[in-house]
Amino acid sequence: MFTSQDFVSGQNYDLKDVLIEVNKKQTPFVTFLMSKTVKATSPQVHWITEEIADSAVTLAEGGDAPAYVKDTLAPRDNYLEIFAATATVTNTAQYSKATGINDLLAHEVEKKTKAIKRRMENKFIHGTKGYSNGVYTTDGILAQIHPDHKVTGQLTADAFEEAIGKLYDAGVSDEILVFVPARIKKQLNELGNVEFYARDKFLGFDIEQYITVFGTVNFILCEELGNNKFFAVNPNYLEMPVLIPFHAQVEAVSGSKQSIYLETQAGVNLLNDKAAVSFEITE
């Protein structure tokens, strides 16, 4: 139990494990990304996507070397967003006895951690990259998907298979996670074009495996997407770069109260923009 008696003013505490544990079912995308963390060295991260050209030829005996064909290199970047909150209680409240709560400050830290994780879930899905007046905002996964992999229209059996087929055509369908709201998942079940295979536990939340013509699809319920969107992604192409690990810092005493500052700076990278597909349902 994380209690205020453990704190020393000005000291930092690594709370990554706390961030992983809270709100698992409400924040499945962030919970998953916590298993894909990489160390960042600046608030802006860079990577390069590479598309291999059809440069190989069938050569005649004694033929000349084929002309050089350049592969396509595309630079990518993203900003890492700072997520923060402060847990504060008065000394009177802290030393009073609250029914069912042994340590009010620890309880506040847990609530603020949940709030941070919910904001991270929203930004890592819907965020838009930017920098202004010292504020970094990160691109969510939906913004990083290739335009050709953004599908809109009515949700039909053929449309769903066509969306998943885009991952197959891009050669990234060996592992597929579909983050989907419960109501859309119900619609997909009623289409009848996916065959239920198994239920399992994945990082603390439930997944359902279905068989499609393009491979095995793992469905994970994700309500942050709203009621008209879902996305499928190959998890091998996802990273969560972290510049500031999630930590708690005891603030200096200021009057008759106690405060804990919570902070992390992180983002999400889709390393191959064709390793995901989004679907927006229109009436």
CATH of 145-235+274-281 given 1.10.3470, 1.10.150, 3.40.50, 3.30.2320: 3.30.2320
At 45-75, the pLDDT tens digits run 998 876 666 667 677 777 777 777 666 678 8
So what's the pLDDT on residue 210? Answer: 80
pLDDT (0 to 100) of residue 250: 83
Residue with the bigger pLDDT between 186 and 7: it is: 186
Between 259 and 266, the more confident residue is 266
The dihedral built from the CA positions of residue 33, 180, 21 and 250, taken in this order, carries a sign that is positive
Same fold, 4-48+77-139+240-270 and 145-235+274-281: no
**Separation in Å, CA 98 to CA 89, 93, 103, 253:** 13, 8, 8, 23
Domain ranges of the chain: 4-48+77-139+240-270, 145-235+274-281
pLDDT > 70: percent of the chain: 80
Question: 266: pLDDT confidence band, cut at 50, 70 and 90?
Answer: very high
Give me the mean pLDDT over the 21-39 stretch. Answer: 83
Q: Which residue has the higher pLDDT, 197 or 253?
A: 253
pLDDT confidence of residue 101: 58
Sign of the dihedral through C-alpha 64, 67, 68, 69: negative
Question: pLDDT class for 1, splitting at 50, 70, 90?
Answer: very low
Distance CA 140, CA 122 (A): 8
CA neighbor of 6 nearest in space, from 275, 267, 258: 258
3-state secondary structure of 96: coil
Query: Which has more confidence, 84 or 187?
Result: 84
- Report pLDDT for 59: 73
Pairing of strands 176-180, 229-233: antiparallel
Instruction: Output the pLDDT for position 258.
Output: 85
SS3 letters across 204-220: CEEEEEEEECCEEEEEE
Average pLDDT estimate for 30-49: 92
Band of residue 92 on the pLDDT scale cut at 50, 70, 90: confident
Q: Which residue has the higher pLDDT, 41 or 2?
A: 41
141: how many CB neighbours lie within 10 A of its CB?
Answer: 21
Q: Which residue has the higher pLDDT, 23 or 270?
A: 270
Q: With a cut of 80, say whether residue 38 has pLDDT above it.
A: yes
* 111-152: pLDDT as tens digits: 899 899 999 999 999 999 999 999 999 999 999 999 999 999
Q: Tell whether the model's pLDDT for residue 191 goes beyond 90.
A: no
Q: What's residue 248's pLDDT?
A: 85
Q: How far apart are CA 283 and CA 281, in angstroms?
A: 7
Q: Convert the pLDDT of each residue in 80-91 to its tens digit.
A: 999 999 988 888
Please list the residues that pair with 84 across neighbouring strands. Answer: 263
**Architecture (CATH level 2) of domain 4-48+77-139+240-270:** 2-Layer Sandwich (3.30)
**Length of the chain (residues):** 283
